[in-house]
Amino acid sequence: MAHRVAQIDQIDIVSCGGYAQPTFAQATFQPAAAAGTSPVAVTAVWWRGGWRASSVGLRENAMSDEPKPKLQSPSAAGLGLRLGAMMFLQYFIQGCYLPIVSVYLQDALGFSKTQIGVFGSALAVGPLFASFVVGQLVDRRFATQHVLAACHALGGGVMIALYFQQGYLPIVVLGAIYSVLYVPTMMLTNSLSFHHLPDRERQFPIIRVWGTIGFVAPAWIIERVLLRGLADEALNTGRGVALLVAGLAGLVMAVYSLTLPATPPQPRASGRSVAPMEAAGLLRARNIAVLVVVSFLIAIVHKFFFVVNAPFLRAILDANNITGAWEGSISSIGQIAEIGVMAGLGWLISRAGFKFTLLLGATAYMLRCLVFSGVSAVTDQLSFGVEMTIVCCGQALHGVCFACFLAAAFMYMDKRSPADLRGSVQNLYGTFVLAAGYFVGGFISGAVAERLQDNWPAIWASSGALAAVCVLILLVAFPKDDDGAQPATA
């Protein structure tokens, strides 16, 4: 059957031994149509010597002489809604417990600041081991949506069990087990979205906004509905309901994952074997190596915020005789701001580039710490209204922190990854950002808070100093105007 190339959408050329070798191209093949029939276009990509499946949308071999059924694809709007609902549920789970778990452990269960930090580290220890396994599973063995369903079903059960625990050791152990199951799913939802979105740079930030909305929603549901009217000891113990709601939401997400678009393992490129090991080879590139180092340090600052922020807010409220559950609602200002920033993230990257965007995010991490440190130093000179206004502005900076650094970094890593390694790259990068950095950050934040004993100006200044180091490294070492135009070679 005759074919002709009707359109070349994209081609990247790299120099190879003195001659130009095409390593990645996307084309549309249009078979010659019989009389009275309409031609059917089939999309394919050229990758390292052959036409093969692509995350852009190929479902069959475009060069085969076998009859080709008409390809069916969901509408853009329908796909967006399905992926948006996935992101909403994914981060609704985390939004239930993450903003308030520190104050729950402190006030209800009597954990010390060091113990709270250890629990924070437990929420990150699992992916240090699980990410490579999960990456191999989704890139080589199982469909992404099936792995998501299994992880959330098991994770939901663990979180429900955690709700009934009060002892330090069982809580830490269950927290570590939960992290093995939950944290990899954050990267998998990214990977699944990237797989199905034809214009990832423009569409992914809009899809990811629904994750932010999902993170915000539990604060208002739990604090304004489930904890409404509670105070003192009843409020302290009542906050544990957040763990139960998170577990139930995990079970819902497990069922919903089975309805997501099919995302089978990508055909293996010639010569590749273990996907995570191939993904690790990308670290040889300077831009990837610098981003990984900075991401590790930023992850420490990020974990620091979530460990000490709720006790910090509670201290301000108690000092001004404000009762009731408000910590989660106040901290949700950051996620509300994140919605606006995420909506414009694609535009910002297209206009200013990745380096500027990442620098903006790292600078926001630094400024947030300095704002909290400064307002704590002059709290006796400020009215409650002025103090809380400044604190809320600092909370709003979280939107810039997350979108311009963490979300943009995931997008950058995806753009620099070969198609058949994207799941492993997302998991490998997530290991540095969400596991190693968070693991270390939990211990550091707990130890600093324990040593400084509510000296909030010093506590926040120490985190701000580390964020300043990240800004400096990005400014000096990250390649200028590197927009990741073509996949890196593992």
3 state DSSP class of 3: strand
The answer to whether residue 77 scores a pLDDT higher than 80 is no
Would you identify the CATH topology of the domain 76-265+275-477?
A: Growth Hormone; Chain: A; (1.20.1250)
Task: Please compute the mean of the pLDDT values over residues 205-228 and round it to a whole number.
Answer: 91
Q: What percent of the chain has pLDDT over 90?
A: 53
Q: What is the pLDDT of residue 12?
A: 34
Q: What percent of the chain has pLDDT over 70?
A: 72
pLDDT tens profile 8-28 = 343 333 333 333 333 334 444
Residue pair 194/205 in contact by the 8 Å Cβ criterion: no
The answer to whether residue 294 scores a pLDDT higher than 90 is yes
Task: Please compute the mean of the pLDDT values over residues 461-465 and round it to a whole number.
Answer: 97
Residue pair 48/486 in contact by the 8 Å Cβ criterion: no
How many Cβ atoms from other residues are within 10 Å of residue 49's Cβ? Answer: 11
Q: What is the pLDDT of residue 184?
A: 81
8-state DSSP, 48 = S
* pLDDT band, very low/low/confident/very high, at 426 (cuts 50, 70, 90): low
In this structure, the strands spanning 42-47 and 19-31 are antiparallel
pLDDT tens profile 197-206 = 888 778 888 8
Q: What is the dihedral angle through the alpha carbons of 336, 337, 340, 346, rounded to the nearest 10 degrees?
A: -120
For the ranges 56-65, 147-156, 342-351, the lowest mean pLDDT is seen at 56-65
Q: What is the pLDDT of residue 208?
A: 85
For the ranges 173-187, 380-394, 406-420, the lowest mean pLDDT is seen at 406-420
The domains of the chain are located at 3-52, 76-265+275-477
Task: Please compute the mean of the pLDDT values over residues 274-291 and round it to a whole number.
Answer: 68
Q: What is the pLDDT of residue 247?
A: 97
The answer to whether residue 64 scores a pLDDT higher than 90 is no
H or E element in which residue 26 lies: strand 19-31
Q: φ and ψ at 488, to 5 degrees?
A: -75, 160
How many Cβ atoms from other residues are within 10 Å of residue 146's Cβ? Answer: 18
Q: What is the pLDDT of residue 132?
A: 61
Task: Please compute the mean of the pLDDT values over residues 35-43 and round it to a whole number.
Answer: 46
Q: What is the pLDDT of residue 300?
A: 95
The answer to whether residue 278 scores a pLDDT higher than 90 is no
How many Cβ atoms from other residues are within 10 Å of residue 221's Cβ? Answer: 17
For the ranges 125-139, 225-239, 388-402, the lowest mean pLDDT is seen at 125-139
The answer to whether residue 375 scores a pLDDT higher than 90 is yes
- Return d(Cα 264, Cα 254) in angstroms, integer: 17
pLDDT tens profile 305-325 = 999 999 999 999 999 999 889
The answer to whether residue 415 scores a pLDDT higher than 70 is yes
The answer to whether residue 273 scores a pLDDT higher than 80 is no
Structure tokens at 413: 């890593």
Task: Please compute the mean of the pLDDT values over residues 448-477 and round it to a whole number.
Answer: 96
Higher pLDDT, 172 or 42: 172
Task: Please compute the mean of the pLDDT values over residues 212-239 and round it to a whole number.
Answer: 92
Task: Please compute the mean of the pLDDT values over residues 118-125 and round it to a whole number.
Answer: 89
How far is it between the farthest Cα atoms of the chain?
A: 85
Task: Please compute the mean of the pLDDT values over residues 133-154 and round it to a whole number.
Answer: 79
Question: pLDDT averaged over the chain?
Answer: 80
pLDDT tens profile 80-106 = 999 999 999 999 999 999 999 999 999
Buried b (16+ CB within 10 A) or exposed e, 459-474: bbbbbbebbbebbebb
